[in-house]
Amino acid sequence: MAFISTERVLSKLDEHLGRNDYDSAERHLLYWLGEAQSVGDKRCALLCLNELAGLYRKLAKEEKAIETVGSLLNLIGEMGIENNVGAGTTYINCATVYKAFGRAAEALPIFEKAHEVYEKHLPATDKRFGGLFNNMALALVDLERYDEAYELYNKAIEVMQNTEDGDLEVAITYLNIASAKEAELGAVESEEAVRECIEKATELLDNHPVRDGYYAFVCEKCASVFGYFGYFVYEKELSRRASEIYERS
């Protein structure tokens, strides 16, 4: 059986995503998914499906995203890797798709499965726990389980503050907490808590030393949140930073 170079697949995908060329990214992934399936390379097929699930989530293509999640979960079963650490990451991707389309109740058991897998294989300080806790907390907020959500956000901060690029993840977490506070308390009662979170996130984003593609991605992701809370000048500043980085790539 021939194996496809996943490095090659990811390298070209990064080029498309770096230019925000999502149509080309989708075509690229579908092509290599077909190739992987034709030669029986399930490892590459899993990679392509994971990336497609994230892409469709970003583009709000619900039907394609949910269909891709089904393919991912089936493939994990076919490969017999349900309890492998790589499957944990796939579970997170699948759960995040459900959450993104307002299906938090369906997402939560899959997040919990990812947590079980990670606990078996990873040290508690592994940065992957930070992403899991953040995404799981978002689903809990949707379900109005705020105390559980804040506990996970705090765990995410504890993990991420000591990892590479962790300050960017912590900034995202503070913005998530701000949104949770508003959802729980209302716009008026949450005003002080929101302001504190916004200030912490701003400091982290401004002081991050490396202005690369990932920094641009985070700026782009955070900009709309600042705008939502009325920080329009900073929203434009983050969008400007992201655009400048993308134009150089």
pLDDT at residue 236 in the model = 97
- Is 48 a domain residue? yes
- Is 94 a domain residue? yes
Residue 121 CB contacts under 8 Å (≥ 6 apart), including other chains: 84, 85, 88
Structural domain tally of the chain? 1
What range defines the domain where residue 7 resides?
1-101
CATH number at residue 50: 1.25.40.10
Question: What size, in residues, is the chain?
Answer: 249
- Is 16 a domain residue? yes
| Number of C-beta neighbours around residue 244 at 10 A | 12
- Is 12 a domain residue? yes
3-class secondary structure, 68: helix
- Is 201 a domain residue? no
* pLDDT per 10-residue tile (average), the chain, 249 residues: 85 91 96 95 96 96 97 96 92 96 96 96 93 96 98 97 91 98 97 98 96 94 96 97 90
Determine the Cα–Cα distance for residues 220 and 225; give it in Å rounded to an integer.
10
- Is 20 a domain residue? yes
Q: In terms of C-beta density within 10 A (0-12 exposed, 13-18 middle, 19 or more buried), how is residue 161 classed? A: middle
Q: 42: which 2 tokens?
A: 């399930």
Instruction: Please name which of 184, 185, 179, 189 lies closest in space to residue 222, comparing C-alpha atoms.
Output: 179
| CA 5 vs CA 1, 37, 43, 81: distances in Å | 13, 14, 10, 20
- Is 238 a domain residue? no
DSSP label of 186: -
Q: pTM (2 decimals)?
A: 0.85
Asked if 4 and 45 touch (Cβ cutoff 8 Å), the reply is: no
DSSP label of 200: H
pLDDT at residue 1 in the model = 55
